[in-house]
Amino acid sequence: MRNILVIGAGRSASSLIQYLLTKSEQENLNITIGDLSLELAQKKVKNHTNARAIAFDIFNDIQRQEEIQRADIVVSMLPAHMHIDVAKDCLKFGKHMVTASYISPEMQELNDAAKAKGLIFMNEIGLDPGIDHMSAMKVLDEIRAKGGHVILFESFCGGLVAPESDTNLWNYKFTWNPRNVVLAGQGGAAKFIQEGTYKYIPYNKLFRRTEFLSVEGYGRFEAYANRDSLKYRSVYGLDDALTVYRGTIRRVGYSRAWDILVQLGMTDDSYTIENSENMTYREFTNSFLPYHPTDTVEIKLRHAQKIDQDDIIWDKLLELDLFNGEKKVELKNATPAQILEKILSEKWSLQPDDKDMIVMYHKFGYELHGEKHQIDATMVCIGDDQTYTAMAKTVGLPVAIATLKILNGEIKTPGVQLPITKEVYLPILKELEEYGVIFKEIDVPYLGYNPLNVSS
């Protein structure tokens, strides 16, 4: 038997574990699922004969090293900052490693040592990062193979609620870590390049500067800029491209309403609120508004943010229960962001029968034989249920497929890497199509950078 150790059995690991269990007989696999919660690991294993569930403490050096020594390859689905100890143990004991997280500076430092030992440390092989890299590089390589010169690259991705489960005015529900949604865009200005000019959007302006796009069969969307769209310019070979822009997708109207919460200060995570546990939602909202002897909280907020009473934004705010004078925050020494997360989780959590949806969109502009061309590539994936969500599929399946292909020697190049070579992306993208992760690529008239008219 060949041993695979999977560390972390959270939401994103569901489809990953299911894939490996399904392949275990055919591929002669024995899978160990380790999680801080033994109950969660057992739930994912489902008493499968080729798997075992264990309570796993990443900070227990003895246990961690014993389990890594037993494995032929290690999959870490831990939070990104916890990967490094696993990676160092994999290096020490000569084991391949796969993660869905961004390559940290500490991970990159292990590159030479991994190469020297012939080890593959595959990172950024989830959804975003992951499927975005692979699908983008496939088209970029094809353009270059026929002699084209890429002048524009735009890429958007979003975890959304499926149309049949879209039941609130925000057209949004949490499909991933709610905290990350609340803190999205913080930590520095968004930066990108547009028609050869560097552009910067500070956090307080981010949600009022959106792109618009349409996906056939699913309607119109908007996207706000990611914090650093230039991170992969050199990696993708786009150093001389005139436009490079990456963004996060939402339904049209979300960002303008979210901007109200930003301007109020509700997304701030830098300080705590006194007596927060006894505060009502209404008092929380009022704490960001000026004192007035007679005006209600509602009137003060509408005046402060210049919201008309018949504006849909007002209905969206009312839907969140921000003016409820009965409900208590019940969080001690909480930051505004933590309180907002609690309020939103009551309204935006997926219900048992809800389905989520992943939308990814790439736009490629290129010159060939003196003419400008454009390719639009779109992918929409709908989840099955609350366990096997579209997010779990698109994060976990690429990880699982890469793990098996490394184990089988189909991916051979050693070192700390992301999935941008044909050796990696071609077979993984092909297999993902069997699970409904399919990109539709079409040639369209070249539009250039036009944030008001992006369509596929």
Report the Cα 149 to chain-centroid distance in Å. 29
Q: Inform me whether the pLDDT recorded for 408 exceeds 80.
A: yes
* Closest by Cα among 73, 48, 170, 138 to 375: 138
**Token pair 């030992």: residue:** 117
CB hemisphere CA count around 300 (13 angstroms) = 17
- Which tokens sit at 235? 């990696």
Band of pLDDT at residue 451, cut at 50, 70 and 90: low
Given the candidates 3.40.50.1820, 3.30.360.10, 3.30.420.40, 3.30.930.10, the CATH classification of the domain at 131-257+352-455 is 3.30.360.10
Give phi and psi for 125, each to the nearest 5.
Answer: -120, 35
Tell whether the model's pLDDT for residue 359 goes beyond 60.
yes
Structure tokens, 186: 């913080």
Beta strands 243-251 and 219-225, pairing class: antiparallel
**Please, what is the average pLDDT of the chain?**
94
In angstroms, rounded to a whole number, what is the distance separating the alpha carbons of residues 101 and 391? 14
Residue 456 has pLDDT above 60, yes or no: no
Handedness of CA 126, 128, 130, 132 (dihedral sign): positive
Longest Cα–Cα distance in the chain: 74
Residue type, 104: S
Distance CA 264, CA 260 (A): 6
Q: Could you tell me if 150 and 233 are in contact, meaning their C-beta atoms sit under 8 angstroms apart?
A: no
DSSP 277: G
| Backbone angle region of 124, left / alpha / beta, with phi > 0 → left and psi within -120 to 50 → alpha | left
Give the residue-averaged pLDDT of 158-173.
95
Distance CA(382)–CA(359), nearest Å, equals 9
CA 83 to chain centre: 18
- The arithmetic mean of pLDDT across residues 368-388, rounded, is 92
Map out the domains of the chain as residue ranges. 2-122, 131-257+352-455
- Give the bridge partners for 363, in sequence order: 154, 376
The separation between the first and the last C-alpha atoms of the chain, rounded to the nearest angstrom, is: 47
User: Using only C-alpha atoms, what is the Rg of the chain?
Assistant: 23
What is the model's pTM?
A: 0.90
Nearest-angstrom CA–CA distance, 48 and 166: 35
Amino acid at 58: I
CATH superfamily membership of 2-122: NAD(P)-binding Rossmann-like Domain (3.40.50.720)
DSSP-based three-state secondary structure for 56? coil
- Render pLDDT for 205-245 as a digit per residue (tens, 0 to 9): 999 999 999 999 999 999 999 999 999 999 999 999 999 99
Q: What is the mean pLDDT of residues 330-351?
A: 95
* 2-32 pLDDT per residue, tens: 999 999 998 889 899 999 999 999 999 999 9
Residue 49: the pLDDT is 94
Please give the backbone phi and psi of residue 115, each rounded to the nearest 5 degrees, phi first.
Answer: -60, -45
For residue 433, the SS3 value is helix
